[in-house]
């Protein structure tokens, strides 16, 4: 089993002004696909505008982040089979860093320094040398860490869900890391 992943910070991400346009299609896209793409883009643009504002409050960041995770990602997943997977992946690769930045912005707006915030990676991938998806490993130490923040393992269920056919689906986990040198007043 590979070594446990360590907490990291996410590399800076250059956000485009909009999500990608739908690719060319021999037939016109259905009204549902066009509406879903427009909905995704509207939420994306609103969240990006909020990130660029300097005076947003933590609640606004959290609401936008939750809306993306709970509503927009299922819309994007629902487009699977209707649009090319490459387009879905391109959108997902934009929404992931956006959610990260929204959650980090919420914490910094609450007074937590950015360098005290780390992205926890509870799942690591192992290349097996076979075709298909890499094997996923859940680090057994992370539920213990989360239990400290949430008060018990029952609260962890919404954070980490192991399911089929997707080997591991999980929400981004971003939390302040309190180092021993941190003092509280």
Both structure tokens of 81: 């089979």
Give the C-alpha separation, 98 to 47, whole Å. Answer: 8
pLDDT single digits (tens) 93-116: 899 889 988 988 888 888 877 777
Q: Parse the chain into domains and list their residue ranges.
A: 31-176
Whether the pLDDT of residue 133 is over 60: the answer is: yes
Between 94 and 4, name the one with better pLDDT: 94
Hey, is 29 helix, strand or coil? Answer: coil
Q: 165: which 2 tokens?
A: 């056919």
* Dihedral of the alpha carbons of 158, 163, 167, 168, in degrees to the nearest 10: 0
Higher pLDDT, 34 or 3: 34
Going by C-beta distance under 8 Å and a sequence separation of 6 or more, which residues neighbour residue 88? 76, 77, 79, 80
Q: What are the beta bridge partners of residue 161?
A: 169
Which residues are 173's β-sheet partners? Answer: 120
Could you tell me which of 121, 138, 98 has the C-alpha nearest to residue 17? 98
Q: Left if phi > 0, otherwise alpha if psi is -120 to 50, otherwise beta: which for 65?
A: alpha
Q: Are 161 and 169 in contact (CB under 8 A)?
A: yes
Q: How many CB atoms lie within 10 A of CB 124?
A: 16
Write down the pLDDT at residue 36: 96
Look at the alpha carbons of 169, 136, 97, 113 in this order and tell me if their dihedral is positive or negative: positive
Q: Which residue has the higher pLDDT, 60 or 145?
A: 60
Residue 169: which region, alpha, beta or left (left: phi > 0; alpha: psi -120 to 50)?
Answer: beta
Q: Is there a contact between 125 and 136 (Cβ–Cβ < 8 Å)?
A: yes
| Global confidence as pTM | 0.65
Instruction: Give me the pLDDT at residue 166, please.
Output: 37
64: nearest Cα among 28, 118, 32, 100? 100
């Amino acid at each position: 089993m590979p070594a446990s992943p360590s907490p990291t910070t996410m590399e800076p991400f250059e956000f485009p002004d909009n999500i990608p346009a739908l690719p060319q299609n021999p037939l016109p896209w259905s009204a549902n696909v066009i509406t879903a793409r427009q909905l995704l883009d509207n939420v994306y643009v609103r969240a990006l505008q909020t990130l660029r504002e300097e005076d947003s409050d933590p609640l606004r960041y959290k609401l936008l982040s939750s809306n993306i995770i709970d509503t927009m990602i299922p819309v994007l997943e629902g487009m699977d089979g209707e649009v090319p997977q490459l387009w879905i992946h391109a959108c997902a690769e934009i929404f992931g860093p956006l959610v990260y930045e929204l959650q980090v912005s919420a914490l910094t707006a609450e007074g937590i320094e950015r360098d005290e915030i780390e992205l926890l990676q509870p799942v690591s991938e192992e290349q097996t040398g076979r075709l298909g998806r890499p094997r996923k490993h859940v680090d057994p130490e992370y539920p213990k860490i989360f239990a400290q923040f949430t008060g018990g393992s029952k609260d962890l269920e919404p954070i980490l869900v192991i399911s089929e056919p997707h080997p591991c689906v999980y929400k981004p986990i971003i939390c302040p890391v309190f180092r021993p040198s941190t003092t509280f007043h």
